[in-house]
Structure formats: C-alpha cells, structure tokens
C-alpha cells in the first residue's frame, strides 16, 4: 500500500506529485531541488545547491523515520556535468560506506533553472 510523505521541512511539490512515497519497506523521494524551504530561495553555486538538495532529501526521509544511512540508490541530475567534482565533494558529506549506488548525468535543463536535482530510494 502506498503512503504519501509530506514535510514542511522541504519545499512543497510544484506539480501533481508527492515529495515522497512509502511503499512497504521502501521510501522513494521525488527529485529534490535546492530550494530553501524557509526562504523559498535557491543559492547560486553548485556546492550550496547540492547541500540544499540533500538537506531536502534528508527532510523527506526523516518525515517517515528514515535516514541517509537507509538510502540504497541515488540519482543526481546536473545541468552541467563539469560541476560533478564540486557536487561530489558535498555529496560525500552526507553518505558513508557502504555508499548507495548512484547515477549522475547532465540534463538539458532543470526546473526553476536549478543546477542540481537529487532523488533517492531508501529501504529498511
């Protein structure tokens, strides 16, 4: 049975989707943009955007009792693949071994002209 996950500690959905869905022992997040949930603003640089996106992921996970240690798969969307190493520096602050599996790739454009968007799958 699916259960919608909603938290005020991450930006609300800007369309017909959920911040996250719990399905049994899995929690799947929608792509999290780097919007600050309080100020509704997005920082300019890739490191700050990566940090905000991961804090938003963390907030959705926390709302349903999950942590970053429960994440088994991440997908990172970048508007410029040359930002990969800077994104990776911040990303490494949020995960420890064994690291989740990950895909990361460049896309033509992200919503609201963000530099990064991150989605995860977590399980207990």
pLDDT digits (tens, 9 = 90+) for 105-118: 999 999 999 999 99
pLDDT band at 120 (very low <50, low <70, confident <90, very high): very high
Separation of alpha carbons 6 and 21, rounded Å = 9
| Residue whose C-alpha is closest to residue 26's, from 56, 79, 68, 71 | 71
The domains of the chain are located at 2-123
Q: 2-123 is classed in which CATH architecture?
A: 2-Layer Sandwich (3.30)
Report yes or no: 19 and 3 within 8 Å, Cβ to Cβ.
no
pLDDT tens digits, 32-65: 999 999 999 999 999 999 999 999 999 999 999 9
What distances in angstroms separate CA 71 from CA 24, 61, 84, 112, one per listed residue? 15, 9, 20, 26
């Amino acid at each position: 049975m699916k259960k919608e996950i909603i938290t005020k500690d991450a930006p609300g959905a800007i369309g017909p989707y959920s911040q996250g869905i719990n399905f049994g022992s899995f929690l799947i997040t929608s792509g999290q943009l780097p919007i600050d949930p309080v100020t509704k603003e997005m920082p300019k640089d890739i490191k700050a955007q990566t940090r905000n996106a991961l804090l938003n992921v963390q907030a959705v996970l926390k709302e349903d009792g999950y942590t970053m240690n429960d994440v088994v798969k991440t997908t990172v969307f970048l508007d410029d693949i040359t930002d990969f190493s800077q994104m990776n520096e911040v990303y490494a602050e949020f995960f420890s071994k064994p690291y989740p599996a990950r895909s990361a790739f460049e896309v033509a454009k992200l919503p609201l002209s963000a530099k990064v968007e991150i989605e995860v799958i977590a399980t207990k």
